[in-house]
A and B are shown apart, each in its own frame.
Chain A
Amino acid sequence: MIDMILEIAPVFITYYLVALGHGFFEKSGVLNLAIDGLFIVAASVAFVGAVYTLNPWVGVLSAAVITALFGVFLAYVTTKFPVSHGAVGLSLMFLGYGIGLIFGIPANFYANSQRIKSADYTFRITPDVEVMMFIIPIIIGFLLLYILNYTKLGASIRAAGENPHAAAALGVDVLRTRLIAGAIGYALIGVGGAFFTLAWRSGWDPKIYLLGYGWLAFAISLSAGRHPLVTAINAGIFATLVKYQYLIQTTTGISTEVAKMLPFIAAIIAMVIFNVTPLRRILAPPASLGKIYYKEEKTV
């Protein structure tokens, strides 16, 4: 039983960190529809970094840096210009699929031609490592909760998400706040995506862009009201569902395709439950999420 729980760890760390980073960024008021594409960027960049250096940590670090740059870009464009958050986010999603594949494919050829085995560049998963993969993300979750609720930065992030105009009037630099939230949020998404390639899948496959796992992380975060600790519970549930979809399949006799469908159906149901129950009131989404922020005072 404990073995079965521990085996969920690589899936859990992936989903939890991605959902955590996404929720943290959205708290600042930027609607993040780029998540699935940039998840693929993270997974691919991590693979490239790890394969060429044979060190998984280089992979994790490069994924974090590259996706953080995308996060900063998304935050800058949506805050500085009166553009649609949805349109920019979806564009970055498509661009992310393309860039992820274009960088991943040559590295995949390189790995095959050099006969590099996945054990050479991925994390060695032992029970100790699995325990750490539960503990460290939860510590990060507590840390983000602390930042959001007890620091000046957290107050600025929440203010920028609730009402950026009022926040700016009270002296909050909305652009700076969102840039920081974008960098931290997307660095976490990057690390999560890196663990997808380097711990969960132990390898890279050009078809990963078809999986839609970034959208599951989106649903995990949304249905947890973007609360760092509630997100952990949701991530745990989805990680179990995805990890054991094949076990569910063999024990219940349903087909592979139904098993693959289940997490998506569950994601839609989770979002509906969140929205129709008092949960939405208790863990209310940021009031200005996705709204165009344009200050008339910019006219000089």
Chain B
Amino acid sequence: MIHLIVVKRIKPIPFSGFLIPLISLITGLLLSGIILYLSSGISFIDLMATILTAFRSPTVVKDTLILTLVGISLVLAFTGAVWNIGSEGQIHMGMMVSAWTALFSALADIPILAKIVGILLAAILGAFWAFIAGVLRAYAKVDEVPVTLMLNYIAYYILDMLVYGPWRGKRTWGYIRTDEIPKILRFQRILNTTATWEALILVIITGILVWLLLRYTTIGLRIRVLGSNPDILRSAGISVPLTIVMALTLSGLISGIVGSVYFFGDTYRLSYPLEEHTANYGYLGILVAWLSMLDIRAVPVAAYIVSSLRISGTLMQIGGLGGVETMFVFIGSVLLTYSIVRIFSEYSVKIRF
């Protein structure tokens, strides 16, 4: 009989911050390769070739910027051990107010103001959407994972309701969607990519601010302590519930901004049903945050890798679902190997017969 014995290491292995994501990525892709080969006969060589093509794909810059922003949002929450799985919903609430500002408010005539107000409102609504889950977690002790997830479905249906009803456009060739926003309201593209300057600026500003927040401010310290040992917060007389609400709300605020970046810079309209048109950035961001080992500086690298995986998923779609099935296999297998492999930095596993 083979026995696996888990032993704690005296010291964590060196370079674990770099080695663990790398090993997880390789093993996760191998696992994906096996699953895709067994189920659809896609060879591993083809899979690798598609991923390599995706690394140089024209849309990878846009996805990387958006996923960096989602990654930053989730690193903030995950650092406090608050599992915000609702970024998807917060992004959609952000998209909703951005669409309102651009299509229905009086601000649409003053483009620069419309964009700024669109981003600000998106941030507020994203924050509010996460705040709901934060309050329920902090004060009613309802686990935030199911709540944030269910709020994603509710967000989809709210947008569906608006797009199907009052927001349905006039120039849509029979599709159920809103009108496109005028060209003047769209974010400016960087050279000949699909990424936008505004997205780049927002990523840089948010990245620096969140890094400073977590490293040098009291709020950041509280969030970090919340993630490592909430009892210390409690004994220092700092409100644990309030810190939880803060971590989730700030995370939602950034996810809300992602919604405005995605709307003003990429979709330009909302299409019914939203749940079928989503790029799943909210879920992909979870992979980004974990692969970055919760280090803001590593988020762009993780975002680049995950963007390529997403794009290769769409390149090798199996059944007309836009590659969503392959994408889920990638997310699932890389996250799974990561969740297991990460223990090796602090533990070793010995085999005894």
A and B associate: yes
Q: Contact size class for B?
A: 35 or more
**Closest CB of chain A to B317's CB: distance in Å?**
10
B100 interfacial contact with A, CB 8 Å: no
Interface positions of A from 204 to 262, Cβ below 8 Å from B = 206-207, 209-210, 212, 215, 218-219, 222, 255-258, 260-261
Is A299 touching B328 in the complex (CB atoms < 8 A)?
no
Q: How many residues of A contact B (CB 8 A)?
A: 57
A271-B161 in contact (CB<8A): no
- Mask of A35-71 contacts with B, CB within 8 angstroms, 1/0: 0110000000000000000000000000000000000
B321–A210 touching, CB < 8 Å: no
Contact with A along B120-163 (1 / 0, CB 8 A): 00000000000000001000111101110111011001101100
Complex partner residue of B161 from A106, A255, A268, CB under 8 angstroms = A255
Tell me if A138 is interfacial: C-beta within 8 Å of chain B: no
Contact stretch, chosen from B32-40, B64-72, B193-201: B32-40
Q: Does B352 contact A (CB under 8 A)?
A: yes
Minimum C-beta distance from A115 to chain B (A): 19
A250 shortest CB reach to chain B, Å = 16
**A261–B343 CB distance below 8 A:** no
The docked-state distance in angstroms from the alpha carbon of A260 to that of B154 is 8
Does any Cβ of B come within 8 Å of A174's Cβ?
no
Question: How far in angstroms is the closest Cβ of chain B from A221?
Answer: 11
Do residues B290 and A87 form an inter-chain contact, with CB atoms below 8 A? yes
Whether the pair B335, A80 counts as a contact (CB closer than 8 A) is no
Number of A-B contacts (CB under 8 A): 169
Bound-state Cα–Cα, A264 to B155, Å: 11
Q: For B149, what are the chain A residues with a Cβ–Cβ distance below 8 Å?
A: 36, 212, 215
Cβ–Cβ contact A80 & B4, under 8 A: yes
A272 adjacent to B340 (CB under 8 Å): no
Contact present for B339 and A83 (CB under 8 Å): yes
Evaluate contact between A91 and B335: CB separation under 8 angstroms. Answer: yes
Bound-state CA distance A82–B347 (Å) is 9
Question: 12 other contacts beyond A98-B329, A102-B329, A219-B146, with CB at 8 A cut-off?
Answer: A90-B145, A91-B332, A95-B336, A99-B35, A102-B326, A105-B325, A215-B150, A215-B153, A264-B154, A267-B146, A268-B136, A271-B136
